[in-house]
Amino acid sequence: MKKIHITIAILLYSVLSFSQDIIGKWYGTAELGEGKEISFIFNIEDTENKYVTTIEIPTQRMSGLKPQKTSFKNGALFIDGANLGIKYEGNFNENTQQFEGTFSEGPTALPLILKRGKIKLEKTTKRPQEPVKPYPYNEEEVVFKNEEANVSLSGTLTLPRTNGKFPVVILISGSGPQDRDETFSNHKPFWILADYLTRKGIAVLRYDDRGFGKSTGNFSNATTKDFSTDVISAVNYLKSRADIDLNNIGLIGHSEGGIIAPLAANQTNDVSFIVLLASTGILGSELSLIQSKTLRPFPVPDEDAYEKAIRKAIKIAGSDKEISAIKSELTTHYNATIAPILKPLVGNDAKVSEIIKGLIETRTTPWIRYFYNYNPANEIEKLSIPVLSLNGTNDTQVLAEINQKGIKDALSKGKNKDYKILKLQGLNHLFQESKTGEMDEYELIEQTISPIVLKEISNWVLAHLK
């Protein structure tokens, strides 16, 4: 599961002058520690007398992030990206002619100065698996609509360059706002996967998540259930095309996409197979608890007490109480249990309060509250179509052993007659050949997806075409 790790004028000017000064590109670089940096480009435009911001993160090769609101008043810039789980708050320094502020993603906050003039970008790490044009297949920009949610989804459909009707797979991305290539840690795994499968004669549809890239909608208000309806809309779009074999429409979901896939497949009779990549097979609250321990970046004096505190926090956040009551209860709980752990690490009460506030916001989004109570095993059990499930032994985000057991038990309980579950040695959450499997290793690895995985997926799909 993945996450993203991601004002402006002089007060004496008139509102019009502010508008003229704020419009344009602002650049900044934030320090991540250990000599690592992350670069940002904020492009602020005046659209119908209101500010609209688009954010690029060149370091991560991400673009098209569209925060829901940008405001500028009395020298203070606030870019509200709650729809993406991010925000920027900064104040204009008249002497330096730059904004001094903070970029936040959930509980993580990074000091970030924005100024005119381009930043120097490091050369992009070599990614030898990325395809180079001209492609030996057709590529088409497409738009389809989720009528129920009033969302338009933009994507890329790649098709073999031959006549006839083609089998097709829909790629479903992991958690957090993702573009059609599932760009993460300077890698574009869905681009690689789409290219490989299309060369094998399989059409591929990949699309920007709602509210991201060229797709419309609000990502932050959506849940896993909502994302499954986007997949159904993709299926319905493909059914409208004369070049698609309607008997061979499949779903391939990575990470959260792997728990969206069975949920979507069970809502239609038009999906003929699914592939689960680094999918979970246990209750969301249990996965979150495990990740809170295994991915925690700081030590705790008492592991048992910490686990008990996190378990209670998840129970509070996942309850059916009013949000205001949940936030109040979480504040009391965190101040009693987590604050004493954080205080020696960050040094002051103000910083502790800021972190706790971020934790509470993260634990009370519509997505996470649905996720806590969603068990993908319940949907996997209902599947009667063929299923391929792949997990890597070096996956530190979704541990292979416990999750594959959940998936296998569900398929067995549901008496599914055609499934294959593979645990692949040395592969991480992105299915790269890795040493540690830790998240900070992803970007350092030149490989985007192991050829073993690409071959395993394509061979299984081709063998299951009707």
pLDDT tens by residue, 30-77 = 887 666 788 889 999 888 888 999 888 887 777 888 888 999 988 889
- The number of helices, as runs of H, and strands, as runs of E, in the chain is 13, 17
How many Cα neighbours within 13 Å face the side chain of 31? 4
Quick one: average pLDDT of 170-174?
Answer: 97
pLDDT at residue 15, as a whole number: 36
Spatial separation of the C-alpha atoms in residues 144 and 237, rounded to whole Å: 6
93, β-bridge pairs: 98
Q: How far apart are the first and last CA of the chain?
A: 33
| All structural domains of the chain | 15-114 (2.40.128.20), 137-283+374-463 (3.40.50.1820), 284-371 (no CATH)
Quick one: average pLDDT of 114-125?
Answer: 71
pLDDT at residue 85, as a whole number: 78
CA distances to 10, 180, 298, 418, 424 from 188, rounded to whole Å, are 41, 9, 30, 30, 21
pLDDT band at 22 (very low <50, low <70, confident <90, very high): confident
Structure tokens at 218: 């609000």
pLDDT at residue 326, as a whole number: 96
Task: Give Cα 456 to chain centroid, integer Å.
Answer: 24
Least confident of 143-157, 343-357, 380-394, 436-450: 343-357
Element (H, E) at 168: strand 166-172
Question: pLDDT at residue 457 above 80?
Answer: yes
Spatial separation of the C-alpha atoms in residues 219 and 222, rounded to whole Å: 5
Quick one: average pLDDT of 400-420?
Answer: 98
Question: pLDDT at residue 14 above 60?
Answer: no
Quick one: average pLDDT of 183-192?
Answer: 94
Within 10 A of 243 (CB to CB), how many other CB atoms are there?
16
Residues 92 and 8: beta-carbon distance below 8 Å: yes
Dihedral sign computed on CA atoms, order 129, 132, 134, 137: positive
Which residues, in sequence order, are CB contacts of 264 under 8 Å at separation 6+?
172, 228, 229, 231, 232, 235, 251, 271
Question: pLDDT at residue 256 above 90?
Answer: yes
Quick one: average pLDDT of 120-132?
Answer: 79
pLDDT band at 120 (very low <50, low <70, confident <90, very high): low
153, β-bridge pairs: 144
Within 10 A of 208 (CB to CB), how many other CB atoms are there?
21
**DSSP letter (8 states) at residue 122:** P
Question: pLDDT at residue 19 above 60?
Answer: no
Would you call 87 helix, strand, or coil by DSSP?
Answer: strand
pLDDT at residue 119, as a whole number: 65
* Of 84 and 181, the one with more pLDDT: 181
* Of 122 and 187, the one with more pLDDT: 187
Number of residues that this document lists for the chain: 466
40, β-bridge pairs: 28
Task: Give Cα 390 to chain centroid, integer Å.
Answer: 19
Question: pLDDT at residue 12 above 70?
Answer: no
pLDDT band at 122 (very low <50, low <70, confident <90, very high): low
Residues 125 and 186: beta-carbon distance below 8 Å: yes
Dihedral sign computed on CA atoms, order 294, 295, 300, 304: negative
Strand 166-172 to 244-254 pairing: parallel
Least confident of 91-95, 177-181, 431-435: 91-95
Question: pLDDT at residue 345 above 90?
Answer: no
SS3 content of the chain, % helix, strand, coil (to 5): 35, 30, 35
Structure tokens at 242: 């004369």
Burial class of residue 349, CB neighbours in 10 A (0-12, 13-18, 19+): exposed
**Average pLDDT in the chain:** 90
Spatial separation of the C-alpha atoms in residues 149 and 153, rounded to whole Å: 11
Question: pLDDT at residue 29 above 90?
Answer: no
